[in-house]
Amino acid sequence: MDPAFLGIPDPANGFQLRNQKLSTFGDTNLSEPGFEPLLNHDGPTNESSNLTSATSSVGVEDDFGEDLDFSDAVLRYINRMLMEEDMEDKTYMLQESLDFQAKEKSFYDALGKEYPPSPDPANQCNLTSTSSSNGGSYVADPADYDSTSPCFRAHHHRASNNPATAFLDSPISPPESSCQSIWNFKKGVEEAKKFLPDGNKLLNFRLFPLEGIDEEGLLVKEEERREGSRRRKNPHSGDTDLEERSSKQAAVYTDSTVRSEEFDIVLLHSMGKGEAVLAAYRENLRSAKSNHDGQLKLKRSSGGKGRGKKQNNGKKEVIDLRTLMIHCAQAVAADDRRSANELLKQIRQHASLFGDGNQRLAYCFADGLEARIAGTGSQIYKALINKRTPASDFLKAYHLYLASCPFTKISSFASNKTIMIKSKNAMRVHVIDFGILYGFQWPTFIQRIAGREGGPPKIRITGVDFPQPGFRPAERIEETGHRLAEYAKMFNVPFEYNAVAKKWETIKLEDLKIEEGEFVVVNCIYRSKNLLDETLAAESSRTIVLKLIRSINPDIFIHGIVNGAYSAPFFVTRFREALFHFSALFDMLETIVPREIPERTLIEKEIFGREALNVIACEGWERVERPETYKQWQVRNMRAGFRQIPLEREIMKRAIEKVTSSYHKDFIIDEDSQWLLLGWKGRIIYALSCWTPI
C-alpha cells in the first residue's frame, strides 16, 4: 500500500502521488457498500458535494500528474473508524471494571463482611461520541463538567500536549469507584492474611497436603501416595509431560539448607550416636528381610499363589527377563520395530516397580528401551535431571545405602583417612572436590579432623559440580557449602568454602583459588564417568580435566571410579554390559533390603534407573553415563603425568574388617594393582586409588 493512503508523507513530495493511475478509484461507484461511510457522513451537505467533485476530478486522465489531497469527508471517515475502535476499548475497560467489582463483592461475601456501596452513578462519566468539522473526539456530558470530576480532569489532560500524562488521565482511565474498589480489595487481602499460617510454615516442605503418619512416625504426602497408585495402574503415564511439569515445579522448589538432628544422625555416622543408629538400622534391615523371606517361604510351601503363570500341568511358567531384554535390544538395533514392540510388551507384563529385583530391573530397562524406540530418550532424561530431589529425601536414601552396602562408607573412610594421614603436619588443607553433589562425605571428615593432635587445620573446600538447569545453576553446591559451614562451626574447625558450577572442561586454574602454602587435595569419587570420551572429540573431556588436575599440582589425587564397561559406541554391546552391571546392584538390594521400603524405590528408580535410561536411550553428547574399568583409568592417569601410590596398609586392613564384620557375606573387598576394589558376588563395581604428580 502507498504511504499516502496511511497518512504517511511520501519521502519525496509529501502527500503528492506520482506516476500512479487512479482510474479504478475514479470509476468506482461510490454507492457500493464499501463506500457508504463516505457518502453517509455526518458533515454538512456542501462537503458532500465537494467530495463528488473531488472524485470526479480525480478520474480525468490528463489530471494524473496534479497533486491529490484528501477531502475532509475522507479524513472524517478515517477519524470515525478510529473513534469506533476507541469506543470498543472504552467499553472493554468498563466491562473489566464491572467484572472486577463483581469478583470483589464475592470476596467480601466469603469474608462475611458487607460490601461498601459504589459511588453515585450520577457522578460517573457519560461519554458520547460526536463529529465536528475538526474531527471526532470523546466529549463528556455538560452536566458532568465539574472541576472536581474525574471526567473533567480526563478531558482537560486529553487536550494537553503532554502525552505521558494524557495517557494516565485519559477518558478510558478507571473512575473513582475503581480506585475505591482497589483500596477495598487491598484491605480485604490484609484481613484475609490473618487467617493464613505463617509464611515460613508454608515453604517448609508443605507444598502438598499431608495424608497422615506412617508406621515409622513420618508424615506421608498424599500427592506422593496418589502418584504411586497411579503409576502402579499405568506404568507409562506421566513420562511424556514430565519435562513440562518438572520445569513448572522448579519455580517453587525449596530445600533445607540448615543443619538438623536428622542430618547429624545420618552424616555423622562414623562415631558417636550416628554410628550407633546406623548399626541399629543395619540390624533392623536384616531382621525385616529375614522375616519377609520366612513368610515368603511359608506362603510358597502352603500352596500360595506365585508370580509366575501356571501351565496346564500345574508347573509355573519360568520367564527369563534378561534374555527377553537382550532380544529386544537386538531388535531395536536392527530397527525391527514390530519384534521390538512385541518383546517389550512381554517384558512389561512381567516387570514391576514393586516386585522382586529382576522385575524392578526389567521395569527400569523397559523404560529405556521404550524411550529409545520412540526417540524420546533425551527429553525424558532431561526431565529427570530437572526433577530435583530434595536433600532430605536423598538423605534418607543415602542412610539406607550406608546401612545396606559398604560401597559409600568404605570409599569415604579410605579417602578421609588418606587425607588425614598425608596432611598430618599441615595447618591449611585445601580439598578440591570434583563432583561434590550434596557433600555427604565431608561432615565425618570435619568431625574426625577436629580431634587432631595439636588442633585442627584450616579447611578450605572447593566444591566443583556441573551446573544445574534453570536460573540458579550453583544453587545445590552453594547449599552444600552452607551445610558444611554449620558442621565446621559445630566442631570449631576454621572453614572456608568456594562453589564452582561449570562444565569441568571449561574450568580454569584461577577459578579454584589455590593459595600458597596449602596442602592441596584433589578428590573425585565416582563422578569421572560423566566426562565425555574420545568417541566424540579427539581431545576428550577426560583428558582436559586430567590435565587441569595435573596443572593444580596437588599433593595427592584420590580417584574413585565406577568399574563398568558399558561405554561402548555399539548399542547391543553396551546394553548387555549395562544389564550385567545393574543386575548386580538390583540383586544386592533385593538380597538385603525389604521390598516395601520407599527409599529402596528411590534408589532404584531415581538413581540407578535414570543412569540406565541414559545408557540405553541416549546417544552422542546426550549420553553422559560412560564408565570405564579401573585398568583403563590407570592408563589415563599415568598418561596425564601421575604416579600411583599405594593406600596405607592400616586403611586396607580396617576396610576389610568393616566389610567382613558388618555387611553381607556376598560383598567382596580386594586389592589389585594398588586399587581398592569393592563389589558384589564376584563382580567389581567400584575401585579407589591414590595418585601424586610426577
List pLDDT tens digits, range 127-146.
Answer: 333 333 333 333 334 344 34
Find the helix packing angle between 391-404 and 571-592, rounded to 10°.
80
Phi, psi for residue 407 in degrees, rounded to 5: -60, -55
- State yes or no: pLDDT of 85 exceeds 70: no
Strands 428-434 and 667-672: unpaired
The percentage of residues in the chain with a pLDDT greater than 70, rounded to a whole number, is 59
What is the model's pLDDT at position 384? 85
Rounded to an integer, what is the distance from CA 441 to the centroid of its chain? 25
How far from each other are the two terminal CA atoms of the chain, in whole angstroms?
77
Q: Whole-angstrom Cα distance, residue 663 to residue 314?
A: 39
- State yes or no: pLDDT of 408 exceeds 90: yes
Inter-residue contact 521 to 384 (CB < 8 Å): no
Task: Give Cβ neighbours of residue 441 (< 8 Å, ≥ 6 apart).
Answer: 412, 415, 416, 433, 523, 525
Burial class of 484 by CB neighbour count within 10 A (0 to 12, 13 to 18, 19+)? buried
11-25, 112-126, 240-254, 670-684 — which one is most confidently predicted on average?
Answer: 670-684
Find the helix packing angle between 442-449 and 407-422, rounded to 10°.
40
List pLDDT tens digits, range 254-308.
Answer: 444 456 777 888 888 888 888 899 999 999 998 888 886 666 666 655 654 444 4
- State yes or no: pLDDT of 206 exceeds 50: no
- State yes or no: pLDDT of 17 exceeds 60: no
Helix, strand or coil, per DSSP, at residue 459: strand
Inter-residue contact 158 to 98 (CB < 8 Å): no
- State yes or no: pLDDT of 97 exceeds 80: no
pLDDT band per the 50, 70, 90 thresholds, residue 149: very low
- State yes or no: pLDDT of 234 exceeds 90: no
- In CATH, 425-569+625-693 is 3.40.50.150: yes
Q: With the CA atoms of 536, 539, 545 and 546 taken in that order, what torsion angle do they form, in degrees rounded to the nearest 10? A: 120
Q: With the CA atoms of 496, 501, 504 and 509 taken in that order, what torsion angle do they form, in degrees rounded to the nearest 10? A: -50
- State yes or no: pLDDT of 84 exceeds 80: no
Closest to 236 in 3D by CA, of 326, 347, 321: 347
List pLDDT tens digits, range 367-399.
Answer: 999 999 999 888 998 888 777 777 778 888 999
What is the model's pLDDT at position 290? 81
What is the model's pLDDT at position 523? 97
pLDDT higher at 373 or 71: 373
What is the model's pLDDT at position 71? 56
Phi, psi for residue 563 in degrees, rounded to 5: -85, 95
Domain boundaries along the sequence of the chain? 3-70, 76-193, 201-258, 425-569+625-693
Closest to 526 in 3D by CA, of 413, 398, 627: 627
**What does the longest C-alpha to C-alpha distance in the chain come to?**
114
H/E run at residue 680: strand 675-680
